[in-house]
Amino acid sequence: MSARELQAVIGLEVHAQLLTASKIFCGCETSFGAPPNTHLCPVCSGQPGVLPVLNARAVEHALRLALALGCRIRRRSRFARKNYFYPDLPKGYQISQYDEPLAEGGAVELVLEGEPRRVALTRIHLEEDAGKSLHEGARNLSRIDLNRAGVPLVEIVSEPVIESPAEAAETMRALRAILRCLGICDGNLEQGSLRCDANVSLRPRGARELGVKTEVKNINSFRFVQRALEHEIERQRSLYERGEVVVQETRLWDAERGHTAPMRSKEEAHDYRYFPEPDLPPLVIEEALLERLRGELPELPLARRLRLMRELGLPELDAAELTRERELADYFERALAAGAPARAAASFVRGELLARLDDARGALAAPVSPEALAELLALVESGRVSGKLAKEIFARMWQGGGSAEAIARAEGLFQESDAAAIEAEVRRVIEANPAQLAQYRAGKGKVLGFFIGQVMRATGGKANPALLNQLLRKHLDGDEGGGK
Ligand code: ADP
Ligand code: MG
Ligand code: ZN
């Protein structure tokens, strides 16, 4: 196989921790970062003789996702035990779903380099998270924290249809945006509330049959989704080039070394001996519940982005940034509803607001409300405040200085739109600078900038620029018969 003809095929298995107050089968807390082994009970620590009770909120969250992604929802799904041994799995099995998952089909929609793409999904199912091994390399010691054991997860499995590492990373970004927009997962790759296993194989371009794949784990950022896959594709490509074969295996991404390495296998045989979970009844989804959840679905980030572009003529970049977080988009649209012009609002939200927020999700709690921003932008629109001073006013509003109008009044920041006053300044400046006037009249048009600067300085930057320009030209060109 010549390496040039090889084409990558990628499929993602994504795990998302659902934002519920308690674990999926018991009442233990789910919050991240508690001291090890403090969120534990007989159920999630795998004591004998206890029974799991399904968390209804977790089911609702998973259904929200399935509805948002357009999956077919199974009205009766089933939990299954996935048996394997690992120290972080106290029961010796994970409760998951197997041959009757909650939802099948659907797709993640995204835009890649301006082109709409649809990444088809295989399935979405519910399961419980395992605990966490804390390895202390220096002391050659491993400890187990079971706080995470039993935290609800959805697993989202894509079809092997992703064509490039960049598309894989974008799929993750789109999924994260949807999860956060739905309010069902905080999507933190670093802390592991959103995780991605990337499967990749190569095949001759145009071939239908899939090549042997490897699965790359331990990817904890969007950048690494792309880099790990790029590396793995190169590794496989060079194997084929040397006439060797790719071995189906799980490999770990090592971000420090920038490569993947085979993982100490924990379940080489892939024989999980799945069997139906005897302690949980089938999960039956009522139509009424689906109806309610459908009605509660928010507008999804991509749809909102496209709508803002369509309705307001916003550039793609603005629209994408504004719809990155639901709260930010809400802020922007509330400013519009209060009368703010779209372009100016977009630029203020992207520039002034975002620069001052640690997290765009806090937009609606910002010290400057969307309505207050709209008031400020109305002053700019009407020419009473210059665009430049508007930023200063915004900064004062942020510090609790009051409304735009009040600040502009108190600080004397209103733009000078009194033609007579500006004209007086123009006359004075022209008289004071005969040399520059001569240059201008000799055809040096650039000297106009000098005069603008002089009048602006004299008026503390407050002269209405359009008016100033007009008056300057009138006097520079006009007085002596437009002699240029
Ligand atoms: P496994 O049994 O190893 O878990 P699955 O068939 O369940 O494999 O698929 C797991 C993930 O791997 C899915 O996202 C799927 O799209 C992807 N996948 C399966 N086969 C391939 C392949 N040959 N190349 C790339 N991705 C693949
Ligand atoms: Mg699988
Ligand atoms: Zn518990």
Domain co-membership, 334 together with 220: no
Domain that holds residue 80: 3-289
Residue 330: inside a domain, yes or no?
yes
Domain co-membership, 320 together with 426: no
**Domain harbouring 444, CATH code:** 1.10.10.410
Given 377, 410, 443, which residue is the final one in a domain?
Answer: 410
* Residue 19 structure tokens: 């934002």
Shortest-distance atom of ligand 1 to CA 9: 25
Domain co-membership, 306 together with 280: no
Residue 378: band (very low, low, confident or very high) from pLDDT cuts 50, 70, 90: very high
CA of 412 to the centre of ligand 2 (A): 67
List pLDDT tens digits, range 203-247.
999 899 999 999 999 999 999 999 999 999 999 999 999 999 999
Domain co-membership, 338 together with 390: yes
Domain co-membership, 84 together with 180: yes
Residue 70: inside a domain, yes or no?
yes
pLDDT at position 65, please? 98
Shortest-distance atom of ligand 1 to CA 212: 23
Domain co-membership, 232 together with 318: no
Domain co-membership, 406 together with 474: no
Give pTM, 2 decimals.
0.87
The proportion of the chain whose per-residue pLDDT surpasses 70, expressed as a percent, equals 96
Residue 344: inside a domain, yes or no?
yes
Domain co-membership, 96 together with 236: yes
Find the angle CA(275)-CA(276)-CA(282) to the nearest 5 degrees. Answer: 165
Residue 212 Ramachandran class (φ > 0 left, ψ -120 to 50 alpha, else beta):
beta
Residue 294: inside a domain, yes or no?
no
pLDDT at position 363, please? 95
Residue 13 Cβ contacting ligand 1 at under 6 Å: yes
Residue 250 Cβ contacting ligand 1 at under 6 Å: no
Residue 280 Cβ contacting ligand 1 at under 6 Å: no
CA of 337 to the centre of ligand 1 (A): 47
Indicate if the alpha-carbon torsion angle 404, 407, 411, 417 is positive or negative: positive
Residue 448: inside a domain, yes or no?
yes
Residue 268: band (very low, low, confident or very high) from pLDDT cuts 50, 70, 90: low
Domain co-membership, 446 together with 399: no
Given 382, 410, 438, which residue is the final one in a domain?
Answer: 410
Average of per-residue pLDDT across 314-334? 96
Collapsed DSSP state (helix, strand, coil) of residue 371: helix
CB atoms within 10 A of CB 270: 9
CA of 199 to the centre of ligand 1 (A): 6
* Residue 10 structure tokens: 């990628």
List pLDDT tens digits, range 4-61.
589 999 999 999 999 999 999 999 999 888 999 999 999 999 999 999 999 999 999 9
* Residue 42 structure tokens: 């007989």
Domain co-membership, 371 together with 423: no
What lies within 8 Å, CB to CB, of 56 at 6+ separation is: none
Domain co-membership, 406 together with 429: no
Nearest alpha-carbon partner for 250 in 229, 228, 267: 267
Alpha-carbon Rg for the chain in angstroms: 31
Residue 117: inside a domain, yes or no?
yes
Indicate if the alpha-carbon torsion angle 118, 122, 127, 130 is positive or negative: negative
CA of 104 to the centre of ligand 2 (A): 14
The structural domain count of the chain equals 3
Nearest ligand atom owner, CA of 162: 1
Domain co-membership, 266 together with 148: yes
